[in-house]
Amino acid sequence: METNPVINSEPIKPTRKSNFKLSRIFIYLLLVLGSVIMLFPFFWLVRSSFMGMNQIFAFPPEWIPKPFMWSNYSEALTSVPFDKYLLNTLMIELLVLAGTLVSSTLAAYSFSRLRWKGRNIVFMIILSTMMLPYAVTLIPTFMMWKELGALNTIVPLTLPSWFGTGINGVFNIFLLRQFFLSIPRELEEAAYIDGASPLTVLLRIIIPLSKPAFIVILIFTFIAVWNDFLGPLIYLNDDSKFTLAIGLATFKGLYNAQWGYLMAASVAIVTPIVLLYFVAQRYFIEGITLTGTKG
């Protein structure tokens, strides 16, 4: 049975070869074309970020900046306090990442490794909230923070992460649980025989083995916080508290037609994420694949 395909395909091969080669060329042609289309907006973004006002509004449009207006960047990034927005964003990043790391690790460990009654139902209920439109909880949550006097602070944007919710919270529990489930049980059984508590097992065995999974959730959560727009839009109204995303949108309102500045500011916000991607590409692909194929 197993050898049949080999025998059968032998005589066909020579006649198909030229056909095969042609289709290979066609595949590469399509891929290159697709890549060019994907990259073109990036080119346009960078090209525009270096253009002065005269050139950007030249007709017909020109492709290459002449001269390169590096000053777009210094102008754009100092005309509104982007350094402050960066600090604000990093502060939120720090609190969200720390919170989600702790809360999702504890929950995922409990949901994957410890047996207790109702565990699977609780996990399924929490998991199902991933499909809940955020609009449903938005208004009461907003009113709750308002009553608590937490509007215009970063509390509404960071505290939920310490409770397994907030940005990517449930997703992180799901992803870590998947990973913990793949760790062989024999390792911890030995520890339990020695009288270790579940917490010791988590700290000594599970966590050290799960570094790749932690990197995946840290990267994805970092990006989600970096990109979050609606959250800061609703909760922060004081200019000095703004994040980069909100700052960029505000900047657009102030410099409406100054496309060179706008594109320079956009490049500045895109670049850290792209650099992160190139450094940690392996984890990105792993993370996306893990969510897509085991859902």
Residues 104 to 143: which contact another protein by CB under 8 A? 104, 106-107, 109-111, 114-117, 119, 122, 125-126, 129, 131-143
Does 173 bind another protein (CB under 8 A)? Our answer is yes
Figure out which of the listed residues 220, 226, 235, 242 binds another protein, where binding follows CB under 8 A: 226
- Applying CB under 8 A, the span of 69-77, 166-174, 179-187, 205-213 interacting with another protein comes to 166-174
Is the Cβ of residue 104 or residue 221 nearer to another protein in the bound state? Answer: 104
- Closest-CA residue to 142 (of 132, 155, 133): 155
Is the Cβ of residue 94 or residue 138 nearer to another protein in the bound state? Answer: 138
> Quick check: 101 and 218 in contact, CB under 8 A?
yes
Instruction: Kindly report the number of other CB atoms within 10 A of residue 112's CB atom.
Output: 19
Least distance CB 135 / another protein (angstroms): 4
Least distance CB 143 / another protein (angstroms): 7
Distance, in Å, from the CA atom of 270 to the CA atom of 160, rounded to the nearest integer, reads 26
What is the x/- site pattern for another protein, positions 18-47, by CB under 8 A?
------x--xx-xx--xx--xxxxx-xx--
Is the Cβ of residue 202 or residue 216 nearer to another protein in the bound state? Answer: 202
Say how many Å lie between the first and final Cα of the chain, rounded: 34
Q: How far is CA 145 from CA 59, 113, 157, 263, in A?
A: 51, 35, 10, 35
Q: Which two tokens stand for residue 108?
A: 């995922």
Alpha carbons within 13 A on the beta-carbon side of 119: 12
Figure out which of the listed residues 69, 95, 206, 245 binds another protein, where binding follows CB under 8 A: 245
Does 164 bind another protein (CB under 8 A)? Our answer is yes
Figure out which of the listed residues 69, 166, 176, 220 binds another protein, where binding follows CB under 8 A: 166
